[in-house]
Amino acid sequence: MSTVSVPAELPAEPPEDRLPFRDPARPLGERIDDLLSRLTPDERIAMLHQYGPAIPRLGIEPFRTGTEALHGVAWLGPATTFPQAVGLGATWDDELIRAVGTATATEVRAFHHHREPATGSGRHSLQTWAPVVNLLRDPRWGRNEEGYSEDALLSARLGDAFCRGMAGDDPEQLRTAPILKHFLAYNNEDDRTTTSSGVRPRVLHEYDLAAFRPAVAGGSATGVMAAYNLVNGRPCHVSPLLESELRRWARPTGHELFVVSDAEAPSNLVDTEHYFDDHATAHAAALKAGIDSFTDHGEDTQTTFGRFTEAVERRLITAADVDRAVRRQLSIRFRLGEFDPGQGPYAGVGWDVVDSPEHRALALRAATESIVLLKNSAVGDRASGAAGGASGGASGGSSDGTGNAAGLLPLAVGGRRVAVVGPLADSLSEDWYSGTMPYRITAADGLRTAVGARGGSTVVVEGVDRITLRAASTGGLLTAAGEDACLVVTDTQAGDDAAQFDLFDWDLGVLTLRNARTGRYAGLVDADQSLAADRVQPAGWDVHETFRLEPLGDGTEALRSVYSGRYAVVDADSGAVAVTAERAADAEHFTRTVVRDGVAEAVAAATDADAVVLVLGNDPLINGRETQDRAGIALAPAQERLLRDVVAARPETVLVVMSSYPYAVDWADAHVPAVLWTSHGGQETGRALAAVLLGEADATGRLPQTWYRGDDELPGRLDYDIIKAGWTYQYHRAAPLYAFGHGLSYTDFTLTGLALDRTRIAQDGELTASVTVTNSGARDGVETVQLYVRAVDAASYQAPRLTLAGYRKVRLAAGASARVSFPLAAGEALAHWSVAEGDFAVEAGKYQVLVGRSAADLPLGADLTVDGAAPEPRRVVGRRVRAVDFDDYEGVTLVDFTPTAGEAVAVGDGGAHGTLLYRAVALDGARAFSAEVSREGAGAARIEVRAGSMLLASIPVPSTGDPYAWTTVTTPVPPPPPGTPDLHITLHGAHRLHTFTFLP
């Protein structure tokens, strides 16, 4: 247990239980002041590290920030494991997500009070690093599984609900302290610590900030974690938005946010980003920007302590800067009950809550309600379940409500044989932020039980090849030997299970090998670079269980570790295998022999069955995860082949896509009668799937993000401008495969009678929209009514095609109806960020309020008029205009004005020029043009200014020697054209533009 030394001259403290800060009857601020006053300067500095040391003289235990709890308690041992966050997002159910947050927090409490960590660094933290509210802009993001939705409103509401469950109902006493991740505009893994997300003001305020605001402003989130990336050229860990936005939102709650760094990000400011010259300067800048806790160098507190001590000595920070951060930490610790007698009202939780019957039932409910029925048609009917992106009209159901007449699902299984096929048919995956499942019910397990109970039977076939690998050097076979299952080359017979491996092909040449005798996966052993078939599944930060079989040109292959990049070699005398060769030329030559053709076995099983449930998808730790983005959105070719061959053999096939992200399953949509999606749904996945497939439960999930078509050319990975790039349902132009919000039911729903209680409102007005939803089918079901808005004739800005403004999950018995109402405030639902005004604004004009089942299925609409003055022309004469407040652009990038504040515009990488557009400007009286510029290098550079087609100015930009050394250039302009022309400013050459103005 680490401690901080205390000077001998400190006065003795009274008994610690009689100190004022221990008195829960005192006001929180008074208790914090008392404890802070008793800490030495060194003790305060030490608290800035993730692992805060114990202070024995005050009876204070060690404290660490952060327990991972994204969809259940992670990393600490078996705990209730709920669906991945993207699966929870598919429920569209605030109440359910809050219940999951409550259950997760209760189990965190159990670990905190009843299970000591092995390191001795303090109890398991009650500060929980969850939820993730980063928006799922790009389905190729490696961490897609961690977010709720591509939509800001849906993500914000679900994130707020999860936080409320985690924090509890008492605003002063916390069950746990939830932290929102990751601030800000973080959607790529490749080079994530050095890439900059270009976020113009409209995208910043309407999209990325919008996902964080409700939980922060409502007080349910107690803190935020800064992201690894840069935004507009500045690392998130020194972003002024931490103070100017997040903490400004939080102040009315009466509690300040406790902001933590991401792991090793403080060092990245120097080591990878090269944003600061030394670590003391970088740490000081992060602290002053608003980072309160530094997660760096693991449990080594001394490195961070030394950097801050140096920063104090160099007067880069003051004692007040340190105290401010420590005060925020102490506020959280007090609210968690750490310094109360008995440690607060939540301390009485027993260990029996972990994986309790109630939590198991909740895990089953969450897994069931997260499943999305994408398509359900009769066998031979090739009509898409999404109808080109829609979901089949107002009724939304492909079934007639009885089960099979119009759709393959629900499956009729009485007396029938069901083949459960696919590489994910009989396994469940954990992801990096999963808990350890206390038990696993696979798709095969769930269907075996449910089908058997109905008088049917199942057969399970994974559809993967079983192979042997024979070494050319000895002629022996790669074999799992002994109790430790160490892989060696011996003269084992080819028919011996120990020499046979099931090969799972995950695409891009990446595969896993599961030994037929041990049932475990081969993995690299760090100690000696040997191999052992003893792994339950791929796992860990550094995945040791993935390999490649690389052709050597002579019909043989080299076995190569993906993790180490090295090749396997065989000792000719002992047969020992070590993955140590740096070059393929030095690798062992293996001959692969297929002893069982996986596709052929699957086809045979499908042929003999009455129906097939084919389970395809991804392993969350392979080819798309934290630190690695996906290469694309297509199924692995091996899985696509399996899909097509199985469907050809048995058209009565249900495709279950079990994945962390969307896939372009275009062929399946055209040829497979029924398609479902589930995230990796946790311990109850199989039971949930069986319930939906057999109709014991309605299909209630709805897509939280768009599923794009395979031939859809997606925007660039680093193009964060959803408006211009065309990301998400709000701006994407091509019809999707399955639309945002899409999901079918086993019954039919009809929407009628959309009405607005007023059809004209002021720009700050409010209204209520209401609609009747009727279950017109023959069975009970659940409908998610979705309300969208759109501007019909926006004049001053590019409006979204649609914006989600509300949703309501309605459970109805067959034949029942309900009237559903949605309050709409113009300032929230209809507002856009006005770059001219620097604030949210509602433009007067025509709008539509639309209701339906998805962003592509909106059968009902009502017209709405917003009364008010038309937008005024933008005034630029005598007014300083920020360059980033453009309406449109070409060929530019956003950069930092200074390391601590502001944004500027520069020509994009590799470009010779870039242009900014400012619409409808008033130039009357303009006599000169002035711009604030900087330029580091030499050479020619200039700014060209046009009003409409008229050239007003062409002004050289001098070199200032440093990108942060700014100067002002000014030139006269001729009389501008009349009216309100569009203003075009073109940057030629490498320089930066911060502001401009026209002088009268």
CA distances from 338 to 58, 117, 341, 359, 881 (A): 13, 17, 8, 26, 50
CA 918 to chain centroid: 34
Phi, psi angles (nearest 5°) of residue 308: -75, -35
Sequence letter at residue 701: G
Q: How far is CA 207 from CA 247, 321, 516, 894, 939, in A?
A: 18, 31, 49, 17, 38
* Burial category of 420 from C-beta neighbours within 10 Å (exposed 0-12, middle 13-18, buried 19 and up): buried
Residue entry with tokens 């295998």: 577
DSSP for 316-346?
A: SS-HHHHHHHHHHHHHHHHHTTTTSGGG-TT
| Residues whose CB falls within 8 Å of the CB of residue 462, separated by 6 or more in sequence, listed in order | 421, 422, 423, 425, 426, 502, 598, 602
SS3 content of the chain, % helix, strand, coil (to 5): 25, 30, 50
- Nearest alpha carbon to residue 60 among 41, 42, 39: 39
Closest by CA position to 227, among listed 187, 282, 190: 187
331 contacts: CB under 8 Å, gap ≥ 6 = 28, 32, 255, 256, 258
Reported in sequence order, the residue ranges of 557-623 that DSSP labels E, i.e. its strands, are 557-561, 567-570, 577-581, 590-596, 611-617
Bridge partners, 558 (sequence order): 550
Phi and psi (nearest 5°) for 383? Answer: -65, 135
Residue 103 backbone dihedrals phi, psi, to 5 degrees? -65, -45
| 3-class DSSP assignment, residue 742 | coil
As to burial, measured by CB atoms within 10 angstroms (0-12 exposed, 13-18 middle, 19+ buried), residue 782 is buried
Cβ contact 942:954 at 8 Å: yes
- Catalytic residue numbers? 262
Question: 246: which DSSP letter?
Answer: I
DSSP state of 267: H
Query: What phi and psi, each to the nearest 5 degrees, are found at residue 457?
Result: -140, 160
Phi-psi region of 6 (alpha: psi -120 to 50; beta: other; left: phi over 0): beta
Are residues 421 and 614 in contact, defined by beta-carbon separation less than 8 angstroms?
yes
Cα separation of 353 and 362, whole Å? 12
Q: Which residues contact 417 (CB under 8 A, 6 or more apart)?
A: 456, 457, 458, 459, 608, 609, 610, 611
676 token code pair:
């479902």
For 241, 778, 912, 913, the CA distances from 988, given in Å and listed in that order, are: 30, 67, 6, 4
Give the chain's end-to-end CA distance (angstroms, integer).
Answer: 68
On whether the CB atoms of residues 678 and 370 are closer than 8 A, the answer is yes
830 phi and psi angles, rounded to 5 deg? -110, 0
Report residue 560 as tokens: 């190569």
499 and 468 in contact (C-beta within 8 Å)? yes
Task: Give the C-alpha separation, 787 to 803, whole Å.
Answer: 9
Partners of 809 in beta bridges: 784
